[in-house]
Amino acid sequence: MKEKIIEALKGVIDPEIGFNVVDLGLIYDVEVSEDGIAKIQMTLSTPSCPLSGTIMDWVKSAAESVDGVKQAEIELVWNPPWSIEMASDEVKKSLGML
């Protein structure tokens, strides 16, 4: 179930950077209880992100679209603070880091 949710979250793309929230390393943790409640801990690339609320809504919708997930709860955290090191190599390469 956890893998399915992560796969669904790969459909949530930051329109400014052009990468999904999973590859960007914004998803810190995903837990699913037996009664189908998904708890997703995530962060944003910056606290000043103007799309903050919208991205969280997209993450919630994407998680709830997975069969067996009744409800998704999103927890936005700032610790540890996000940095580009948390992103996948593909993202780093695309941004010119590697």
- Which positions touch another protein (CB under 8 A)? 11-13, 15-18, 45-54, 56-58, 61-62, 65, 76, 81-84, 92, 94-97
Which distant-in-sequence residues (6+ apart) come within 8 Å of 83 by Cβ?
none
> Shortest gap between Cβ of 60 and another protein (angstroms)?
11
> In the complex with another protein, which residue's Cβ is closer, 33 or 61?
61
Q: Classify 42 as helix, strand or coil.
A: strand
> Shortest gap between Cβ of 68 and another protein (angstroms)?
19
> In the complex with another protein, which residue's Cβ is closer, 34 or 67?
67
Which distant-in-sequence residues (6+ apart) come within 8 Å of 6 by Cβ?
22, 27, 30
> Shortest gap between Cβ of 56 and another protein (angstroms)?
6
How far is the C-alpha of 36 from the C-alpha of 48, rounded, in Å?
32
